[in-house]
Amino acid sequence: MTPRFKPGDAVTVRRAYPPGHIRTPHYIRGKSGVVERICGSFANPEELAYGRNGLPAQPLYRVRFTQGQVWPDYTGTAGDSLDIEIYEHWIEPASGATDAR
């Protein structure tokens, strides 16, 4: 699969709460960040968990979030960031951003 996003793109993690094996932490769903890099494409672990092949391989992104936006009560240094690796099917263009596909 050709990656939908590129480094620098503003993205929002989907607010979805399905049962099953999920690799996107609960606390980051609905939060917005910026693609820091494309890590490559990998068989989807959410399918591999059930003994299927996980293909087509899903692009995996390292997305950078601002700690202060993730945790409303964050008291650390302003500008502290948090990187999370997230598969493409879990992110969308950030609201207001253009999806340059």
Point out which residues bind other proteins (CB under 8 A): 17-22, 25-28, 45-46, 48-51, 71
Plot region of 54 (φ>0 → left; ψ -120 to 50 → alpha; else → beta): left
* Of residues 36, 19, 42, the one with CA closest to residue 84: 36
Tell the smallest beta-carbon distance from residue 14 to other proteins (Å): 15
Tell the smallest beta-carbon distance from residue 19 to other proteins (Å): 5
Whichever of 71 and 93 has its CB closer to other proteins, that residue is 71
Contact 97, 80 (CB under 8 A): no
Whichever of 8 and 18 has its CB closer to other proteins, that residue is 18
What is the rounded distance in angstroms from the CA atom of residue 96 to the CA atom of residue 20? 31
Whichever of 5 and 12 has its CB closer to other proteins, that residue is 12
Phi, psi dihedrals of residue 46, rounded to the nearest 5°: -75, -15
Tell the smallest beta-carbon distance from residue 47 to other proteins (Å): 8
